[in-house]
Amino acid sequence: MSTKTKKISVPGFLANGISVGIKSADKKDVGLIYSTLPAKVAAVFTKNSFKAAPLLINAERIKKGTAQAIITNSGCANAATGKEGYKDALAVSAQLAKELQIKEEHILLASTGIIGQRLPVKKITGGIGKLVKGLNEQGIEDAELAMMTTDKFPKIAIRKGIVGARDITICGIAKGAGMIEPNMATLLAYVMTDALIDNKALNTVFHQAIDATFNCISVDGCMSTNDMAIIMANGLAGNNPLERAQARLQRFRDMLCDVLNELCQAVVKDGEGATKFVTISVEGAKSRSDARRAAYAVANSNLVKTAFYGQDPNWGRIIAALGASGISLEKERVTLSVGGVLVYSQDSPANFNTQKLKDAFKKDKIEVRIGLGGGDKSYYVYTSDLSAEYVKINADYST
Amino acid sequence: MSTKTKKISVPGFLANGISVGIKSADKKDVGLIYSTLPAKVAAVFTKNSFKAAPLLINAERIKKGTAQAIITNSGCANAATGKEGYKDALAVSAQLAKELQIKEEHILLASTGIIGQRLPVKKITGGIGKLVKGLNEQGIEDAELAMMTTDKFPKIAIRKGIVGARDITICGIAKGAGMIEPNMATLLAYVMTDALIDNKALNTVFHQAIDATFNCISVDGCMSTNDMAIIMANGLAGNNPLERAQARLQRFRDMLCDVLNELCQAVVKDGEGATKFVTISVEGAKSRSDARRAAYAVANSNLVKTAFYGQDPNWGRIIAALGASGISLEKERVTLSVGGVLVYSQDSPANFNTQKLKDAFKKDKIEVRIGLGGGDKSYYVYTSDLSAEYVKINADYST
């Protein structure tokens, strides 16, 4: 995280985060990001059937390709709240449009917290005046703090570089600290950039970048009701146009992936109760989808996760999880190594140094490499361990 | 469990369980079930790609439809052990055939414990003499004790009744205490009966009964490397033949389902660290497969499981897990009730009594009912909660 040394800012973006009393004590719970001029926008939404009200509204608004503000509250998800919840979200949006004096359709909404409870609309609308008044160039961290729930630290990443003959900035913030797919708590990620880019290119590049980063910690079919990633590009940098099939678009995409990758690693590191950062790499698969299934089967196995937590070199659980993944595999060709120690090949335990394997399980970062020997497709997943602390955090979240 | 009052026995079956020093202290770790005459046999095996050596051997032997003995060791799974592991299992089988003076092909093998370690063959073969010598009519509980790993209590169920004009007995034993699918520890279940039944009917009925019971706690594609269920029928009861499409076959199946259902409920109750017994029922689905997917999506959600553990009435997590299941649903038609309290319908929280819901979460048995309103198919799953104790048990299983 680059937040400790100096305040983060992106040309043309103001932000703020305040407490309106949704969460306990004086914790910030409403955040705002505002682009001083209308920005190009692209977004990725959860595929959950019970999308929260703000996402339903955003999905409509985003179609026109322009947005200027994102308001987020924590402490209440406004999900499974039906028509009333939808109206509640609109009430927030109307009030914000009035205060910001922008078109209401340029406002995007986000909520995170407990599902099935009504949004405390009055608390939020009552605070919007103060929220808008306090908007400032260095307010990004405050906006981030306001959307945190069980997160232990803010997640902000920034890259600056020359793209299309101009200095551009890409800054992302994220919230989310649940165990990852299929058990993640809500994940929200916002990216602000001053790059000049058209809607078509922005949309393509953002989907590609999310697929290469957050989708590897699984912002996909197993998301919560409120997961969402949004990018706003206000064009202030005045760079040469970024269009498809251009080297400079590739450069922009690389910077964007860097930002998102840093954020999603931070999300895994902050995994509720996590003590380990684990990478599961699957290589040699017949298809990417096979590699993905295998990687997730291992990453989501509670028995594998608890072994990492316990620093227990019980590698057989990884083999069992792989074997239960449902992909077709030739077990004689499968190899497994943990922390560089080859533990299994040719359908038998390898002749490994037990102490080295124990040491590998003791590290904070553990790399699991699975070779399937059946093709050239691969996939990797970042995951965390499953600790007693995770259970404690989630056993009394709402009460 | 019916074990406390008197010793359990099934005509024509002898059993025993002893300690040969695989597990620590003097814990029983090798068990034997023996039918005094060759019995008809049927079995269901894990679909895991890394089937343990004993299962590979059994799969061949079971084809002929006859078996006479099952030997089981705990403390070592003999899985992911390749050709050496296969030979190790055969060595046990050869020695047992010699001691029992029966055909080696009539011996079935099972192992449960840590994956990826060689079977301590000498310890086992060295104990077989004693094991066989001690075979007795009331030894079933000892055989059960010998196959337990993290199980807290033995799981034995028995039914007696008239089928085909004769008294018959069906007795089942099971081991398994992991969290259920996809994280269960190895599940082994053996059924002994003196019913006279042909192979075809036995095979059909056993698969149907497993499907209606153990498959609802998921002995299926997500099983461990060693999961297996076996039934042996020695025909001693001399009942009228049990053939397909007969009422008496139906009666036999009902008794068998009763036995298996009692066992699988016991497995869930003994779930590692479990404090709750939860039934997830899904009704009104378009297909059984949809109902099943929905039920498992909820049952396997760590966020749902921790809420049960914490007695936290956070029902929104159930909705979120359902929405992430990937089945197509009309959310306006979905209803959710927990412990008889309707909490969600018409895409909104229902007007429920909060205290009643809190009380429902505090009970040892919790029933979650999900209505999809889209068809007439249903499915239910038994599951347990996810406790800090589960993490502790599994964090240092092998060390």
- Give kind and range of the element (H or E) at residue B156: strand B155-163
The reply to whether A303 touches chain B by the CB within 8 Å rule is yes
Percent of chain A predicted with pLDDT > 70: 94
ipTM here: 0.82
Q: Which residue's structure tokens are 């599940």?
A: B187
CB spacing of B313 vs A398 below 8 angstroms: yes
Size of interface A-B (CB pairs under 8 A): 223
CA–CA separation, B42 vs B256, rounded Å?
13
CB spacing of A221 vs B324 below 8 angstroms: yes
CA–CA separation, A235 vs A36, rounded Å?
11
Q: Which residue's structure tokens are 């082994």?
A: B188
- For chain A, the domains span 13-267, 277-395
Give A-chain residues touching B116 at CB under 8 angstroms: 315-316, 319, 343-344, 349
**Nearest-Cα residue of chain B relative to residue A329:** B49
Buried b (16+ CB within 10 A) or exposed e, A194-227: bbbbeeebbbebbeebbeebbbbbbbbebbbbbb
Are residues A272 and A185 in contact, defined by beta-carbon separation less than 8 angstroms? yes
Structure tokens at B397: 């299983």
Q: Choose from A46, A50, A117, A357 for mutation: most chain B CBs within 10 A.
A: A50
- In sequence order, which residues have a C-beta less than 8 Å from that of residue A246 and are 6 or more positions away? none
Give the nearest partner residue to A80 out of B115, B300, B319, using CB atoms.
B319
The reply to whether A152 touches chain B by the CB within 8 Å rule is no
CB spacing of A306 vs B82 below 8 angstroms: no
Q: Using 50 as the pLDDT threshold, list the residues of chain B that sit under it.
A: 1-5, 182-184, 219-221
CATH of domain A277-395: 3.10.20.340
CB spacing of B312 vs A225 below 8 angstroms: no
Nearest Cα residue to B253 out of B340, B303, B193, B173: B193
CA–CA separation, B57 vs B63, rounded Å?
11
Q: What's A397's DSSP letter?
A: S
Mean pLDDT of A138-167: 94
Are residues A129 and A2 in contact, defined by beta-carbon separation less than 8 angstroms? no
Q: Which residue's structure tokens are 């001693």?
A: B236
Q: What's B321's DSSP letter?
A: H
Fold of the CATH domain A13-267 = L-amino peptidase D-ALA esterase/amidase (3.60.70)
- H helix intervals, chain A: 53-61, 82-100, 121-133, 140-147, 199-212, 247-269, 288-299, 302-309, 316-323, 354-362, 388-395
How close A184 comes to chain B (CA, Å)? 8
**Nearest-Cα residue of chain A relative to residue B301:** A183
Give A-chain residues touching B386 at CB under 8 angstroms: 302, 391
What residues of chain A, 42 to 101, have a C-beta less than 8 Å from chain B? 47-51, 77, 79-85
Q: What's A242's DSSP letter?
A: B
The reply to whether A382 touches chain B by the CB within 8 Å rule is no
CB spacing of A310 vs B225 below 8 angstroms: no
Q: What's A324's DSSP letter?
A: T
CB spacing of B320 vs A48 below 8 angstroms: yes
User: Catalytic site residue A213?
Assistant: no
What pLDDT sits at residue A1? 41
**Nearest-Cα residue of chain A relative to residue B390:** A388
What pLDDT sits at residue A221? 39
What pLDDT sits at residue A30? 98
* Active-site residue, from A186, A213, A225, A279: A186
By three-state DSSP, how is residue A350 classified? coil
The reply to whether A392 touches chain B by the CB within 8 Å rule is yes
Give the nearest partner residue to B225 out of A297, A323, A325, using CB atoms.
A323
- H helix intervals, chain B: 53-61, 82-100, 121-133, 140-147, 199-212, 247-269, 288-299, 302-309, 316-323, 354-362, 388-395
Q: Choose from A51, A114, A314 for mutation: most chain B CBs within 10 A.
A: A314
> Would you please indicate which residues of B are annotated as catalytic (active-site) residues?
186
**Nearest-Cα residue of chain A relative to residue B332:** A82
What pLDDT sits at residue B185? 58
Side chain identity at B257, as an amino acid letter? Answer: C
What pLDDT sits at residue A184? 46
The reply to whether B399 touches chain A by the CB within 8 Å rule is yes
The reply to whether A224 touches chain B by the CB within 8 Å rule is yes
- pLDDT, tens digit, 9 for 90 and up, residues A214-235: 877 754 335 688 989 999 999 9
What pLDDT sits at residue A219? 44
- Residue A287 has a CB neighbour count (10 Å cut-off) of 13
pLDDT beyond 80 at A178: no
Q: What residues form DSSP beta bridges with B33?
A: B15, B70
How close B112 comes to chain A (CA, Å)? 12
B277-395 matches B13-269 in CATH topology = no
The reply to whether B349 touches chain A by the CB within 8 Å rule is yes
Q: What's B65's DSSP letter?
A: S
Q: What's A241's DSSP letter?
A: P
- pLDDT, tens digit, 9 for 90 and up, residues A46-59: 888 899 999 999 99
Dihedral sign for Cα B162, B164, B169, B173, please.
negative
**Nearest-Cα residue of chain A relative to residue B51:** A323
CATH of domain B13-269: 3.60.70.12
Average pLDDT across chain A, whole number: 90
How close A9 comes to chain B (CA, Å)? 35
CA–CA separation, A250 vs B60, rounded Å?
56
**Nearest-Cα residue of chain A relative to residue B395:** A310
